[in-house]
Structure 1
């Protein structure tokens, strides 16, 4: 094993491929729940209502396909985001592994990356993906908040039209509105990948027992459980990020006049004054309902592809 290892010593092609496939899986399973969460958080019509009321109202008024409003940015974007997120995660894991952040595997199968190493890799990967994620999430949020059933009645006819209007009114940098909130939100991947690895190690203790899970089942369980841990800690920052991106909603968006961008502090203060601490946790139920199946499947695909490609080296 080399004594030092640079980030560029391993091109993360395997991680990029596995991450892209994981992103597609997450969109297919979870986008409808994300639409409900966004509307609960930001639409004043649903301020005092829960997830099932919002779901029922959306289906009655706009039909089933309304759940997939704004799906184009994440269908392409989340795949790219997860490709960067999980590709860089793979690179950071290898970098930390080859630079001494290792420990003896309790099963006696060699060295493995420490739990802190998995956590730091998740933190760095989350921050690395933020510049790409911000404009994609911004377009998604603004499209999801449109309540009109007919496309012709909506201000934004689609993601390209939304981006063009935003650039006309606020310039290219307007596409990165909410970036600081996105950084705070994505820093919570520290906890997601800590929880995933801790759960995988816990499940490995059943080795040799009649109810020992297969590696695929372990990935499903650990991925779903890690996502619940992530959202419990990240939802306040997601709420702030989305409010920053939606500003000045529910006031109309101007097509020509630049709108001052709110700060993390001003949005957090506004949420607290309007709704108290509970306001930071609006949308948590649909997050939980969506998070377990979508992330369980995403982790299953990601980890499975890494093993198939022979790329997993940090877990023994």
Structure 2
């Protein structure tokens, strides 16, 4: 099995694990990000309202889209990351840098590998998250979309490819900056353990990818949360003034939210995100690392 196929397969396992663990927290985050100011007094109020009014299965509303889409997204992330890492390792080896085989990449090389992974991922993650957010925020009593495929069909029919990629500018900024930091933190922690203990990557305890993934997740959200909030606002906005469009552009969205809701709006919904992050990101890296170990034996 080729290295690229292994990377993509293991990434898919990590992505599925991420969705199953993180989806209930994500829907609370999105509802808080996109609701008018004062709708929810906090995370518990929001979660309680969903449970009371929509039932427990509502926490997995729109899950089919991310389960399929995020699986593909995380697969692309890890595939692109490992490809970039191999390119940098080959460059280091030719220059006699980076230790044995040039495999010990520098901080900037890991960051740029993460940026590349994020940009590659954004091609799929933009429309996947757009569809997911539309489904998560629509009314339970008068839904516009019957499901993910119906949403894709209606949005594409009415607004074309541009409609599916609504909110893509903040998505690109979020993915590039966020995944640069995300993979830098994770890989540096892995490098440190390997160097300190003199072990191979596949000898690291399965507990540690969970801990390192949790740390990487917190670093990610520390950088991207305000950008993510703007992305969510753009992806729930109307497609035209006739359909309730509030924001003319990403910059207009930033200015409008700042003027009308203040700086607090840029961190609304952060609570469920911080609770979700260690579980979802720990599950992602555990799934990836364990899958890679199994695939390497095939």
Residues 157-189 of structure 1, C-alpha deviations (whole Å, 9 max, x = no match) = 111111222123212321011111100110110
Against the structure 1 CA distance between its residues 48 and 165, is the aligned structure 2 distance closer, same or farther, given a 3 Å change threshold?
same
Distance 2:294 2:102 in 1: 20
- The residue that corresponds to 2:21 in the other structure is 29
| 5+ long unaligned stretches in structure 1 | 1-9, 312-316
TM-score by length of 1: 0.83
* Aligned counterpart, 1:186: 175
Cα gap change, 1:180 to 1:54, in 2 (>3 Å): same
Instruction: Tell me how far 1:88 sits from its aligned partner.
Output: 1.0
Distance 1:294 1:199 in 2: 18
2:229 pairs with 1:243? no
Distance 1:57 1:118, change over 3 A: same
Tell me, yes or no, if structure 1 residue 59 matches structure 2 residue 65.
no
CA contact (8 A) 2:40 2:46 kept: no
Q: Quick check: which one's helix share is greater?
A: 2
Unaligned runs of 5+ in 2: none
Label 1:63 to 1:46 Cα distance change in 2 as closer, same or farther (>3 A): farther
Shift of 1:242: 1.1
1:198 to 188, 192, 201: 188
Which of 124, 127, 135 pairs up with 1:135? 127
Matched residue, 2:7: 15
> 2: distance between equivalents of 1:110 and 1:169?
51
Question: Would the aligned equivalents of 2:23 and 2:63 in 1 still touch at CA under 8 Å?
Answer: yes
Deviations 1:244-296 (A, max 9, x none): 111139x9984xx9x69732211111111122222111111111111101110
| Residue range with higher mean Cα deviation, 262-271 or 285-294 | 262-271
- The structure 2 residue matched to 1:294, chosen from 261, 276, 280, is 280
Cα separation, 1, equivalents of 2:242 and 2:24: 24
User: By how many angstroms is 1:48 displaced?
Assistant: 4.7
**Is the contact made by 1:89 and 1:121 (CA closer than 8 Å) also made in structure 2?**
yes
The 2-side partners of 1:114 and 1:172 are apart by 38
Q: Any idea what SS the aligned residue of 1:290 has? A: helix
Counterparts of 1:247 and 1:99 in 2: how far apart (Å)? Answer: 45
- Structure 2 matches for 1:275-294, cutoff 5 A? 275-294=261-280
Instruction: Provide Cα deviations, 1:83-110, integer angstroms capped at 9, x if missing partner.
Output: 11111111111111111285238xxx98
CA 1:253/1:246 → structure 2, altered by over 3 Å: closer, same or farther?
A: farther
1:223-261 deviation line (CA, Å, top 9, x unaligned): 111101101111011111111111139x9984xx9x697
Change in 2 beyond 3 A, CA 1:12/1:261 = farther
Question: Which residue pairs with 1:103 in the alignment?
Answer: 98
1:171 aligns with 2:160: yes
Q: Deviations over 1:104-159 (max 9, x none)?
A: 38xxx9842222222111110100111111111110011000231x5xx3111111
Counterpart CA distance in 2 for 1:25 and 1:224 is 14
Q: Tell me which residue corresponds to 1:84.
A: 76
Please point out which of 140, 144, 147 is paired with 1:158.
147
Give distance in 2, aligned partners of 1:100 and 1:67.
Answer: 46
CA RMSD of aligned residues (A): 2.6
